[in-house]
Chain A
């Protein structure tokens, strides 16, 4: 799960050697994730997209 999260927001979520950290605020992480999600067909991502919320 964390790996998937980091793959959607690799610049703002740091994951390595059993450790995880955020390199930015939660809002910025969500923004990066939304940008990644937008590039994938919606039928694959719809539930996940809902879980991170819409644009504030």
Chain B
């Protein structure tokens, strides 16, 4: 089967053929299954350029890869190939690197060693064309993967036709593929390289079209030994090895630093390689060299899948990165992830070459690998110690004036807060600021001022009202304070407890710092928010089963009028507080609940005077509900179902409440429903301790079936002359006295003593 050069190759005359024996089975074995991403497959082409001694490589990826004309191109100025070279190139599974007098070009040890790099292109495109320039000779040849036939055992022969191009045709061909006039001029102009090779991928497959420029750019500059000796251009932009702009706090040069450390197991292993570079000679892994750095700020920004990482360990074998996506390289640093994201270590360990698995995306477990990991961990631990030491010098914090707690080290307070506050101010992620309570220009300005001051960022913990629905804690940069929200139900329920203030403040500070720690460990702000929301729900739920005061229940009613379940709970709580025995129901055909009044005997010989009421609540974002929403007929059915005496309906308000001829008034009257607004029920709860309100006295309320009348009932109650105040002190003293003799006082015994 003869394969002609691709369509974009202009002109040309026969120069010979390249015979290839290849099959889908071979390709599958050597290429497709081995490359986890199209970007990695593309990287193989550039590895070939490096191995060819290239000093400059130009990569061209068009912005749109969806066009049928789109081509991916890699051009290098390494030694190129003549007809014999092309024939060697296509000896599948045999690595004939481009060589000069039997030596690797530019003296570089090859970084691709399996002879399959070119086959990786199979996952990207149907056609791979090589355009080769050596002196005045230009050759072109195309592999058409779409025409490969035969199984693993019977690869079908293919004959790739090689054409020799005139310079004009070669120029037109490469110009068509590149669409990059300056580069074409570079290849054919006065400063043209002595030789160059272009690998052009056309008829792109889905995975080829899926190449992401940003991700590929990062892979190339991170994974390959980019530098002055190997310049890499990506769509006209020179790629540099990732170097961070951040402030470097600490540095460790393998070999040099090892030599100067006391009690350091690697100090006596320091040596140098043939080029005089310092390093350490490990027993199994051999010579390693490199450098570690620790930065003030995290190097982890954005989504790593899009931008790649800049932190962690970068282990290179023959200059090529072997742990692209594995920041820890299997080193046990999980507990110190906050340090790892500020840490970067490059280690050249060519001794691991024998343990690499094809195609350098994995490495076999071995004593040499363990030895390298051990060394990496040792250096990392020095970085961690250096960071702790620095943080301890940052200055003391005053978290609490109470003498019973120690001042925590700044490494646990100001230092992480400073880092997160900077993130909030720098605006990389708005949600960080929102979590901290740093909002708007004023908030950012205050935070920046706090940072610039160089003072401790946590001077005190303040308790003050922020709103019932607001978080438990927030940060006030202007006062350098954690603010605990006294309106939060959890805080509100304990704040007046003797001795509770200090633990509450410490809980608040801990809550705030936990949030900081999570952000400092690079949990996403969205995830931190989710965790804190759940924790907040838990704290609020804890308060909900704690006995509440009339004031708290009244506030709960007012706060929940827009929320169905919350209002339902609040009404139940209110009725319990007023003295009813409440049963909460949940069936579709049931009311929200039943409230039973067990009044006992009013007088000797009298019968029990208890009554039962069904209750329902209708939440609404509006101030008043319509008659249809009230559904009084259904409420009547509920009453009948439970043979209750009365029916209570609680809602934010009722449309036409003051009009006795309104639908709501007529329906409530007709169905004997007692409508009461949330506000009136809340007021009732507030005043009942001061007006001797009991379930018995409230029975009159349930005889009222107009919103206006129930509102008047509460008004009258609140405005009425107060009954004689109970002898509170006497009662309390009596309870205390009787409690000395028994666990709890029987109410009837108490009553008899008071008479």
Interfacial residues, chain A to chain B (CB-CB below 8 A): 1-11, 13-15, 18-22, 24-26, 28-33, 35-36, 39-41, 44-48, 50-53
Interface size of B by CB at 8 A reads 43
Complex contact B732–A22 (CB within 8 A): yes
On chain A, the residues within 8 Å of B549 by CB distance are 7-11, 32, 36
The answer to the question of B12 belonging to the interface, with a C-beta cut-off of 8 Å to chain A, is no
User: Can you give 18 A-B contacts (C-beta < 8 A)?
Assistant: A2-B731, A3-B577, A3-B578, A4-B688, A5-B731, A6-B547, A8-B550, A11-B549, A13-B735, A20-B735, A30-B728, A30-B732, A32-B496, A40-B686, A48-B725, A48-B726, A51-B728, A52-B728
Of B19-27, B239-247, B701-709, B746-754, the one contacting chain A is B746-754
On chain B, the residues within 8 Å of A51 by CB distance are 725-729
On chain A, the residues within 8 Å of B688 by CB distance are 4, 7
Complex contact A2–B747 (CB within 8 A): yes
Pick from A6, A35, A48: contact of B690, CB under 8 Å: A48
Q: Closest B-chain residue to A33, C-beta based?
A: B728
- The 4 closest A-B CB pairs, nearest first, are A4-B689, A51-B725, A10-B547, A19-B744
CA distance A39 to B495 in the complex (A): 14
Complex contact A22–B547 (CB within 8 A): no
Given A11-B547, A45-B690, A19 and B726 touching (CB < 8 A)?
no
On chain B, the residues within 8 Å of A30 by CB distance are 728-729, 732
The answer to the question of B480 belonging to the interface, with a C-beta cut-off of 8 Å to chain A, is no
A46-B722, A47-B722 known; 17 new pairs, CB 8 Å cut-off, are A1-B726, A2-B731, A2-B747, A2-B750, A4-B726, A6-B547, A9-B549, A11-B546, A11-B547, A20-B744, A20-B745, A20-B747, A22-B736, A41-B718, A48-B690, A50-B725, A51-B729
Q: Closest B-chain residue to A46, C-beta based?
A: B722
Q: How far is the CB of B568 from chain A (nearest CB, A)?
A: 21
CA distance A20 to B743 in the complex (A): 9
CA distance A40 to B690 in the complex (A): 10
Q: How far is the CB of B46 from chain A (nearest CB, A)?
A: 71
Complex contact B689–A8 (CB within 8 A): yes
Complex contact B722–A48 (CB within 8 A): yes
CA distance A18 to B746 in the complex (A): 6
The answer to the question of B551 belonging to the interface, with a C-beta cut-off of 8 Å to chain A, is yes
On chain A, the residues within 8 Å of B729 by CB distance are 26, 30, 51-53
CA distance A56 to B463 in the complex (A): 24
On chain B, the residues within 8 Å of A11 by CB distance are 493, 496-497, 546-547, 549
Interfacial residues, chain B to chain A (CB-CB below 8 A): 493, 496-498, 546-551, 577-579, 686-694, 718, 722, 724-729, 731-733, 735-736, 739, 743-748, 750
Max chain A C-beta neighbours (<10 A), residue from B546, B549, B550, B688: B549
CA distance A51 to B578 in the complex (A): 21
Complex contact A28–B498 (CB within 8 A): yes
On chain A, the residues within 8 Å of B577 by CB distance are 3, 7
On chain B, the residues within 8 Å of A15 by CB distance are 747
Complex contact B745–A1 (CB within 8 A): no
Complex contact A44–B687 (CB within 8 A): yes
Complex contact A1–B736 (CB within 8 A): no
Pick from B493, B686, B732, B746: contact of A29, CB under 8 Å: B732
Inter-chain residue pair count (beta carbon < 8 A): 120
Complex contact B692–A4 (CB within 8 A): yes
Q: How far is the CB of A36 from chain B (nearest CB, A)?
A: 5
Complex contact B722–A21 (CB within 8 A): no
Q: How far is the CB of A9 from chain B (nearest CB, A)?
A: 7
On chain A, the residues within 8 Å of B722 by CB distance are 44, 46-48
On chain A, the residues within 8 Å of B718 by CB distance are 41, 44
Max chain B C-beta neighbours (<10 A), residue from A3, A29, A36: A3
Complex contact A35–B496 (CB within 8 A): yes
Complex contact A44–B690 (CB within 8 A): yes
Complex contact A19–B745 (CB within 8 A): yes
Given A7-B549, A40-B687, A1 and B692 touching (CB < 8 A)?
yes
Complex contact B743–A47 (CB within 8 A): no
On chain A, the residues within 8 Å of B548 by CB distance are 10
On chain B, the residues within 8 Å of A10 by CB distance are 547-549
On chain B, the residues within 8 Å of A45 by CB distance are 690
CA distance A25 to B499 in the complex (A): 13
On chain A, the residues within 8 Å of B732 by CB distance are 22, 26, 29-30
Q: Closest A-chain residue to B579, C-beta based?
A: A3
Complex contact B725–A4 (CB within 8 A): no
Pick from A5, A31, A39, A53: contact of B551, CB under 8 Å: A39
On chain A, the residues within 8 Å of B546 by CB distance are 11
Q: How far is the CB of A38 from chain B (nearest CB, A)?
A: 9
On chain B, the residues within 8 Å of A29 by CB distance are 732
On chain A, the residues within 8 Å of B739 by CB distance are 21-22
CA distance A55 to B690 in the complex (A): 19
On chain B, the residues within 8 Å of A41 by CB distance are 718
Given A26-B736, A44-B718, A7 and B725 touching (CB < 8 A)?
no
On chain B, the residues within 8 Å of A2 by CB distance are 731, 747, 750
CA distance A6 to B718 in the complex (A): 20
Complex contact B725–A20 (CB within 8 A): no
Q: How far is the CB of A29 from chain B (nearest CB, A)?
A: 6
On chain B, the residues within 8 Å of A53 by CB distance are 729
On chain B, the residues within 8 Å of A50 by CB distance are 725
Complex contact B579–A36 (CB within 8 A): no
Complex contact B498–A24 (CB within 8 A): yes
CA distance A50 to B722 in the complex (A): 12
Given A4-B689, A47-B725, A21 and B735 touching (CB < 8 A)?
yes
